[in-house]
Amino acid sequence: METGLLVQMLLGSLLGLSVYLPLRCGQLSLATPGFYAIGGTVAALLSTRVPALGISDATYPLTSVMLEMLLAALLTGVLALGLGRVVLRLRGIYLAIATIALVEILRVVTLNLEFTGGALGIFGIPQPFSGPEGYAALTFVVLAVVCWLCDRLEKTRPGRAMAAIRDDELAAASQGINTADTKLMAFVLSALVAGVTGVVAAHFLNSWNAKLGNFDASITTLAFVVFGGSRTWLGPVFGGLLLTALPELLRPVGDLRLIVFGAVILVGPLFFPQGLITPELFQTLRRRMGRSAAPSPQGGRP
């Protein structure tokens, strides 16, 4: 497999996780591409316009990339904090529509601003690595950190509160859970992940323009989670990897590939309404493995 594709797959997983975080507490937010675009724009602007960061160095310093990530996280975090307070009052499909509108507004604004390069975007973003291997390593590290955070979140009190809100928001509030704050936290985390991903993507793609955060991207990233599953962080990681790779792997099929791709996205949820990866899947696997190794102690449960 091409290393460049691997980087894209890892970036896909990160965007899947960004959609997953609000969804884990029942909030269908499609704002991920918007925050992704902001992250990318921050990286593109800083690295091309601020000489002190090292654009003239032979290879762009990794510490500068880190600094961009930090600033992108700060900006997207603050934005999400403000926007989330307003849009998270909406529920279900209304939240989805409002966040799509946010992404569109952002796209149109970026398209018409002078300093973001207008429709053409920003070119010649400096490279911290000489080849895709470096990007693969960096993206992998970022993905690993985000996965670790998600795993810790799921296994602790805030994660339980998120799941409770997803199942029944009113009952969750009756257990003393501040549902508004919990949803806001998930929304902000989602924005941080998308923003940081945008920074990596901007360097990797070498150029950045408004098209990268459009409605199509909203739907594609949602498909990662619907396909992979929204109950554990492994779902969107798997969905992001697979659905990013699929169009490329299907290239030999020619024009049919888009139809096959569409069919996969359609058929997946039909047969696996919870997504491919669910906690039950792990339970089943564990039980199977337990049974082959030693008789299961709690085997005979009806």
Chain residues that interact with another protein, rule: CB under 8 A: 149, 152, 156-157, 160-161, 163-164, 166-168, 170-179, 231, 301
Q: Which of 135, 125, 136 is nearest to 54 (CA)?
A: 125
Q: How far is the CB of 156 from another protein (least distance, A)?
A: 5
Q: Which of 234, 243, 149 is nearest to 192 (CA)?
A: 149
Q: How far is the CB of 106 from another protein (least distance, A)?
A: 30
Structure token digits, residue 252: 């030999």
Of 1 and 170, nearer to another protein (C-beta) is 170
Q: How far is the CB of 176 from another protein (least distance, A)?
A: 4
Of 63 and 178, nearer to another protein (C-beta) is 178
Of 21 and 31, nearer to another protein (C-beta) is 21
Q: How far is the CB of 78 from another protein (least distance, A)?
A: 19
Cα–Cα distance measured from residue 278 to residue 140, given in angstroms and rounded to the nearest whole number: 23
Of 43 and 196, nearer to another protein (C-beta) is 196
Cα–Cα distance measured from residue 196 to residue 76, given in angstroms and rounded to the nearest whole number: 9
Q: Are the C-beta atoms of residues 132 and 11 closer than 8 Å to each other?
A: no
Of 49 and 152, nearer to another protein (C-beta) is 152
Q: Which of 184, 189, 300, 283 is nearest to 231 (CA)?
A: 283
Q: How far is the CB of 88 from another protein (least distance, A)?
A: 15
Q: How many residues does the chain have?
A: 302
How many CB atoms lie under 10 A from the CB of residue 135? 24
Of 57 and 167, nearer to another protein (C-beta) is 167
Q: Are the C-beta atoms of residues 99 and 31 closer than 8 Å to each other?
A: yes
Cα–Cα distance measured from residue 170 to residue 254, given in angstroms and rounded to the nearest whole number: 50
Of 165 and 217, nearer to another protein (C-beta) is 165
Question: Phi/psi of residue 119, each to 5°?
Answer: -70, -30
Q: How far is the CB of 118 from another protein (least distance, A)?
A: 42
Q: How far is the CB of 32 from another protein (least distance, A)?
A: 23
Cα–Cα distance measured from residue 59 to residue 82, given in angstroms and rounded to the nearest whole number: 37
Q: Which of 42, 182, 33, 39 is nearest to 102 (CA)?
A: 33
